[in-house]
Amino acid sequence: MSGRPQIGGARQTFAPWDDPAARPLVRFEGVSKGFDGAVAVDDVSLSIYEREFFALLGPSGCGKTTLMRLLAGFETPDAGRILLEGRDLGPEPPHRRPVHMMFQAYALFPHLSVAENIAFGLKRQGVARAEIAARIEEMLALVKLEGLGRRRPDQLSGGQRQRVALARALAPRPRILLLDEPMAALDKKLREETQFELMALQQTLGTTFMIVTHDQDEAMVVADRIAVMREGRIVQVGRPVEIYEAPADRYVAGFVGDVNLFEGRIAACEGPLIRLATDDGALDAEGAGVVGDAAWLAVRPEKVAVHTEPPADGRNRLAGTVLDYGYLGDWTTYLVETRPGRTIRAARANATRTLLRPLGCGDPVWLTFAPSSAVVLTK
Amino acid sequence: MRRGRVGLAAILPFLWLALFFAFPFLLVTKLSLSHTVLAIPPYAPQLDLSQGLAGLKVFLDGLDTTTYARLAQDRLYLDAYLSSLRIAAMAAVLLLLIGYPIAYGISRCPPGLRLALVMAVILPFWTSFLIRIYAWIAILKPAGILNAALAGLGLPPVDILNTETAVLLGLVYAYLPFMVLPLYAVLDRQDESLIEAAQDLGATPLAAFWRVTFPLSLPGAAAGALLCFIPMAGEFVIPDLLGGSETLMLGRVIWTEFFANRDWPAASAVAIVLLATLAVPILLFEREQGKVLS
Amino acid sequence: MRGWLKALGFAAAVTLAACGPKAPEDSAPQAGGTLRIYNWSDYIDPALLAQFTKETGIKVTYDTFDSNEVLETKVLQGNTGYDLVVPSNHNVPRYITAGAIAPLDKSQLPGLDKLSSATMLHMAPFDPGAKYAVPYMQGTIGIGYNEDAVAKRLPGVKVDSWAVVFDPANLAKLKDCGVYFLDASEDMYAVALNYLGKDPNSKLAADYKAATALLMKARPYVRKFHSSEYIEALANGDICVAVGYSGDVLQARSRAAEAKNKVKIAYAVPKEGSQVWFDVFTIPRDAPNPTAAHRFMAFMLRPEIIAKASNFTEYANANAAATALVDEALRNDPNVYPTRELSDRLFVTTTKDQALLRDVNRQWTKVLTGR
Ligand SMILES: Nc1ncnc2c1ncn2[C@@H]1O[C@H](COP(=O)(O)OP(=O)(O)OP(=O)(O)O)[C@@H](O)[C@H]1O
Ligand SMILES: [Mg+2]
């Protein structure tokens, strides 16, 4: 599989959500769903566009699966409606919706062979026998399982099963494919490979994908847009870079990637820059707000520079000692104590190869970050 | 210590089998090779170990297979076998047709209700078996409850007591829990997401049932059918009480040999052949059960 | 009373076969000690047992069975632990040959001389010299019938012949209201042979073939062959004719009377003659306490005691001195105490050898199943 740059390159201009004239493929309008009084999905409005790779990201139990099951038709909304190409899906039972789902645990039919599993949806559609055979071959080739058509699910590895589930859901050519944590059961390396394969597949077929994950890295890698959910609500929808670099609030900032937060009050606004009065002194960052309001400055560890000598510039400068560090191969992360009880995370790319330890526990260090690398959050 | 306990646990089932299956089986086999005498006990030869090996030789020389030859010569025995198997098979099919919807219905109920319904299936078993079968006599007899009800509806009376129909009814009634429970076990354990996957792929609820639920429940059906079939083929009490004279079943043949003819060897030989005939289903059953349990 | 609940018998025998002989719990014959009796169910007045214990200090353990077959299967295994068992007359020779029962010590049985000579004559073929058995109760095989139902279907026909149940012409008319035959091959062959004018104890295969042919012609009209269900069925009016045992039919008659269901049951011993049977006291060879068994027999030989026993069972006893002490209704009922004229037409059946028994039972199976 070729890498991300090509795909990204081909998609530079793919942004139908910015086009007011574009008609969404799927639209959730104020959809709510509760179970026994507890709200699982709370007033969700969301548009998903044709050919989009859309990710739902959120912690366990936040309602991702429920939202997907509402679209597939296994749950009925308590309030709101779901539209497919402008048509209300409300009265359609699951088997009439052109929406297919890849289940969290794959739900392969154990009594059917791989080929029969793939043919299942086609047979229900009444596709001709010869075409079914051709489509099975096509799908097996697509997911690289040529020759395994006669196996039973229990004779396959976890990764192979995942592909069969994918092929089975794709074979009847759904308008939108729902993938509920498709890679949760795979090991890290296989997961990364599969992520890229999935993207290529989506690109080839042009099918709209909606993927559920609670793995932020996965969402960042595969998705055109990410919706971050929290307790049944959508907190932010945006491209991965927006979610990461311009989180809507502290929750998103903390959920997607690591972040250092400084609590304080807005002391001054100077154009795009805001000065925040914190317990760690005055800190500058980009953002918008009203003087006097409570606010938080958020800065990601990799944007915090670590110096062994005191730096010249005094802005956004903090002194401390290394409390702990973790060598990750490509990165080393440092935990720096700037005052008793206050630690800051900083990450440094291991740009040069060295077996020497440049920094160790107890070493005095200075941390700096550019105001443009940090954001002020008011929520 | 640990090893010792594991070893004992592994041996126990074999001890159990040896004590309650192999040993009685050998005894009955020995009996089937003996011949009747008017004495205590009413068969010969007896093993006289006081004479040592010579006694054993005399004993072994006294055994023969004439009883089996007699079974082979008289069509009655073959007819009784076939008739027993036929009645048991018919009852098994009826049990499947009746038990499946019941088991399926229970498995679709809310969890709290499910337990209550399973109890309802088992509950009749807490009253005496004989009393329940006698109750059927009261229902089916010519001036019984069934005909009173039919008369109330203005329908002609039916006379089914002492017929094969009544035997089938009794068998189905008595063995229903043994069909419902294994079926319910597989249906209840079935992964709900498989049905959803089928519907998601365009299967109507009915198609999802036939393509997914039903085939996946077949091991339970097989387990239930064999669980019922084997004892039904050897059933004595139900055909004796509800059946007519022409309801020819092996249980009755064994009874006649044992009691009326005082012919223990013949009764034993019939039982041995019954066991051999059913060994195949039993083995099949073991395999199916292995599948269900895995 | 002589209800043959085969189901239970079968279960009992299976248990027996599985468990082997049961040793008595306390087998030492102590002073007084325990007497273990194995008798037909519902076949003795419990008050008599209490009286026996009171008089002798011997405790009584009383177990019951429902068929001769179950009894014999158990006794022929040996080691039953019983001191007294009650087989029917035609089985006694088998017990003697098998060495299963012990000769009586007549010095311990002072009342033997009171037994009716006619009965002892009947018993002679089974127990020559009266060495092994003391008769207890006796009865006949005959036709039990619903008077009104039969009168309606066979107007003007008197139920006094086996032809009522063996002639297909009659049976055809009775079929709709229900005919039961006993499921007891030896009893049924005996009355069938007798009806055909042959020796009820014939040893000729041809005779049995003829009887089988007769029974085969009757079988399409027979609702069921069963040895106890007819009691209830007659009493309820579910059937109208049954070949059955005298005491059982009389019991059906009492039940119908109690139920006030307008069912009138009658019993007839056909004019061609019929079988009379006796249930007799015997002592197993390995009885733990034969002394107590003798004491009990002597007790039951007392006329006032056996008369009470008859009042309870509604069967005749063999004690000539007791007849006058039996309830009047019972002693004057010819179905219980046959008249001399009837008595002359009664016969007993003897024991068949194993080959003949097997052959007769095989033919009986053919009658039962039609194949
Ligand atoms: N059938 C149901 N009955 C009752 N409550 C339910 C049901 N399905 C989901 N819930 C509840 O709704 C909430 C959302 O569940 P959902 O399965 O959508 O979470 P999720 O985001 O998919 O979590 P995960 O990442 O663990 O899969 C949870 O609190 C869950 O307990
Ligand atoms: Mg989920």
Inter-residue contact A279 to A264 (CB < 8 Å): yes
Res. C4: pLDDT tops 70:
no
Q: Contact A74/B196, CB-based, under 8 Å? A: yes
Share of chain C above pLDDT 90, in %: 63
**What's the rounded Cα separation, in Å, for the pair B85 and C288?**
46
Contacts of A318 (CB under 8 A, 6+ apart): A280, A281, A336, A338, A344, A366, A367, A368
Inter-residue contact B80 to B249 (CB < 8 Å): yes
Res. B9: pLDDT tops 90:
no
Res. C14: pLDDT tops 60:
no
Structure tokens of B234? 């050897």
Lateral strand order in the sheet of C59-65: C59-65, C34-40, C84-85
In three state form, how does the secondary structure of C190-255 look? HHHHHHCCCCCCCCCHHHHHHHHHHHHHHHHHCCEECCCHHHHHHHHCCCCEEEEEHHHHHHHHHH
Which domains, from first to last, does chain B contain? 24-64 (no CATH), 75-293 (1.10.3720.10)
* Domain residue extents for chain A: 20-252, 259-377
Res. C17: pLDDT tops 50:
no
Write out pLDDT tens, residues B117-142: 999 998 888 888 889 998 999 899 87
Domain at A259-377: CATH code: 2.40.50.140
Q: Contact A103/B196, CB-based, under 8 Å? A: yes
A83 vs C15, more confident: A83
Write out pLDDT tens, residues B144-191: 899 999 999 999 888 888 889 999 999 999 999 999 999 999 999 988
Report the candidate in A106, A158, A177, A167 with the shortest Cα–Cα distance to residue A138. A167
Q: What's the CATH fold of domain A20-252?
A: Rossmann fold (3.40.50)
Q: Which residues of A touch B207 (CB under 8 A)?
A: 95, 124
Inter-residue contact C249 to C265 (CB < 8 Å): yes
Q: Enumerate the β-bridge partners of residue C61.
A: C36
Res. C22: pLDDT tops 50:
no
Inter-residue contact C296 to C35 (CB < 8 Å): yes
**What's the rounded Cα separation, in Å, for the pair A109 and B197?**
9
Mean per-residue pLDDT, C55-73:
89
Burial (0-12, 13-18, 19+ Cβ within 10 Å), B134 = middle
Write out pLDDT tens, residues C39-56: 988 889 999 999 999 999
B191, B193, B200, B216: best mutation site toward chain A, by most A Cβ within 10 Å? B200
Res. C5: pLDDT tops 50:
no
Residue nearest to atom 22 of ligand 1 (CA): A65
Domains A20-252 and A259-377 share a fold: no
Mean per-residue pLDDT, C193-201:
94
Question: Does A169 reach chain B within 8 Å, measured CB to CB?
Answer: yes
Mean per-residue pLDDT, C286-294:
94
Helix (H, G, I), strand (E, B) or coil at A375: strand
pLDDT at C291: 94
All chains having 3 or more CB pairs closer than 8 angstroms to chain C: B
Share of chain A above pLDDT 70, in %: 95
Domains C2-133+282-301 and C139-276+343-369 share a fold: yes
* Domain residue extents for chain C: 2-133+282-301, 139-276+343-369
Helix (H, G, I), strand (E, B) or coil at A261: strand
DSSP C106-144: GGG-GGGGGB-HHHHHHHTTTSGGG-S-EEEEEEEEEEE
Mean per-residue pLDDT, C143-168:
94
Q: What's the CATH fold of domain C139-276+343-369?
A: D-Maltodextrin-Binding Protein; domain 2 (3.40.190)
* Candidates B143, B241, B246; nearest CB to C7: B241
Report the candidate in C370, C360, C1 with the shortest Cα–Cα distance to residue C222. C370
**What's the rounded Cα separation, in Å, for the pair A290 and A267?**
9
**What's the rounded Cα separation, in Å, for the pair A131 and A139?**
12
| ipTM exceeds 0.90 | no
Q: What single DSSP character describes residue B51?
A: G
Average pLDDT along chain C: 87
Write out pLDDT tens, residues B30-75: 999 998 888 888 888 888 778 878 888 888 888 888 899 988 998 8
Contacts of B294 (CB under 8 A, 6+ apart): none
Write out pLDDT tens, residues B192-205: 899 999 999 999 99
Per-residue pLDDT 10s for chain A (379 aa) are 333 334 444 455 778 887 788 888 999 999 999 998 889 999 999 999 989 999 999 888 899 999 999 999 999 999 999 999 888 988 889 999 999 999 888 999 999 999 999 999 999 988 999 999 999 999 998 888 888 989 999 999 888 998 899 999 999 889 999 999 888 878 888 888 888 888 888 888 889 999 998 888 888 888 999 999 999 999 999 998 888 888 888 888 888 888 888 888 887 887 788 888 888 788 888 877 778 788 888 888 888 888 887 877 777 888 888 888 888 878 888 888 888 888 889 888 887 776 666 677 778 888 888 888 888 888 7
Residue nearest to atom 28 of ligand 1 (CA): A61
* CATH 3.40.190.10 for domain C2-133+282-301: yes
Indicate the range of A100-109, A128-137, B255-264, C5-14 predicted with least confidence.
Answer: C5-14
Report the candidate in A62, A88, A16, A33 with the shortest Cα–Cα distance to residue A212. A62
* Candidates C6, C69, C98; nearest CB to B40: C98
> Exposure pattern of C237-270 as b/e (b: 16+ CB <10 Å)?
bbbbbbbbbbbbbbbbbebbeeeeeebebbbbbb
Q: Which residues of B touch A174 (CB under 8 A)?
A: none
